[in-house]
Amino acid sequence: MMVPAAPRCAPSCWRQRSWRAALLLPLAAPFRCVAAARRALYQHDFLHRERLPVPVIVVGNIAVGGSGKTPVVAWLVEILRQAGRRPGIVSRGYGGAAEGIGKPLLVTAHADPAMCGDEPVLLARLANCPVAVGRDRPAAARALIAAHPECDVIVADDGMQHYRLARTLEIAVVDEAVLGNCWPLPAGPLREPLSRLSELDLVIAHGELSPAVRAAAGKVPIAPMTLAGERFRSVTNPAEWRDAADFKGQRVHAIAGIGRPERFFAQLAAMGIAAVPHPFPDHHAYTAADLAFAPNEPKLMTGKDAVKCAAFAPPDAWELPVRAVIGAEFVGPLLEKLDDGRQTA
């Protein structure tokens, strides 16, 4: 089975259906059964689902690894705001110290990513709306609503498998490279089978999807997404901007600690920037030493990296802010479903 290149952080055996991955299939079968049984117990109310006083939209994925959910959450918040809603965001806060505290934490645009996680801080800056983090998503949502009673809809970032939080709508962001060999954990990266896509309200395709994945989605709408970014912002002086042309014809470096650094490198190449790639693991905890190379040579990075590097970045560090571009034709049906207020899994 031929699949796109998997994220760098993924085990190599997840990339294709090799004999090494097959050795783990005996472990994958019980994982899949347990995951399916757990979902069924929540669906039939044998396990308690907490319903909030406001609608909940979950943005997630069926696989382990980054697929581009953060810009999709920011896009969703914006269309909700344009529709007259007052959204808030809840997230686990992966990689932040608050994840182990167990108590919900409110996040601001100036919060410490080491405490709150890089993605929640980035979302607080991108979406300009209330954000709360916590391993207990319902508790985080209640804390957010208590602090911001004006919020009338919650967007749950990466909460698809957190079934204790009842949801009104489910959206999956799918990057087929992240799906790898399409086998369940630990033989592959799937948290849930491909058939789960057919139960959603919208599938957002970050890149091309194969006929097999499209068939798995069934009648669920599939919205193609691209990430757009044209100008670079100084990490140390956000008021300063540069065009892509300013970095052409010189030696520059590209830094990316995201699920698929190759996407960032390819985006720079498409802008005409031939950068030296420096990939880091997803959610990498940067230190000043990571950027202490090639003095006076520009260093370009993603927004997710910039929030963690701002405190010690050199003056030649530049961030490429991006936004999700998704067809407007998918917005109306999504908002109509939200107004229906029906609860899914």
Q: Give the 3-state secondary structure of residue 175.
A: coil
217 and 254 in a common domain: no
CA distance 253 to 300: 6
Please compute the mean of the pLDDT values over residues 158-169 and round it to a whole number: 93
249 and 152 in a common domain: no
**Residue 7 counted as domain residue:** no
**Residue 151 counted as domain residue:** yes
Please compute the mean of the pLDDT values over residues 296-325 and round it to a whole number: 96
Where residue 102 sits, what CATH number does that domain have? 3.40.50.300
The predicted pLDDT at position 19 comes to: 87
Q: What percent of the chain is predicted at pLDDT more than 70?
A: 94
| pTM for this model (two decimals) | 0.91
237 and 210 in a common domain: no
Residues 335-345 pLDDT 10s: 999 988 655 55
199 and 269 in a common domain: no
What are the distances in angstroms from CA 176 to CA 60, 65, 183? 14, 11, 13
CB of 89 closer than 8 Å to CB of 155:
yes
Q: Which two tokens stand for residue 155?
A: 């967007």
234 and 217 in a common domain: no
The predicted pLDDT at position 237 comes to: 95
87 and 215 in a common domain: yes
133 and 83 in a common domain: yes
259 and 299 in a common domain: yes
CA distance 250 to 298: 9
**Residue 91 counted as domain residue:** yes
Structurally, the chain folds into a number of domains equal to 2
Give yes or no for residue 16 having a pLDDT over 90. no
CA distance 26 to 11: 17
Q: Which two tokens stand for residue 310?
A: 């701002």
The predicted pLDDT at position 100 comes to: 65
57 and 184 in a common domain: yes
Helical segments of 183-287, H only: 211-217, 261-270
286 and 235 in a common domain: yes
281 and 214 in a common domain: no
Q: Is the peptide bond before 7 cis (omega within 30 degrees of 0)?
A: no
**Residue 32 counted as domain residue:** no
Q: Which domain holds residue 252?
A: 230-321
CB of 263 closer than 8 Å to CB of 320:
no
**Residue 87 counted as domain residue:** yes
Nearest C-alpha neighbor of 114 from the set 311, 290, 278: 311
Residues 94-105 pLDDT 10s: 877 776 667 899
**Residue 155 counted as domain residue:** yes
The predicted pLDDT at position 345 comes to: 54
241 and 206 in a common domain: no
**Residue 5 counted as domain residue:** no
**Residue 3 counted as domain residue:** no
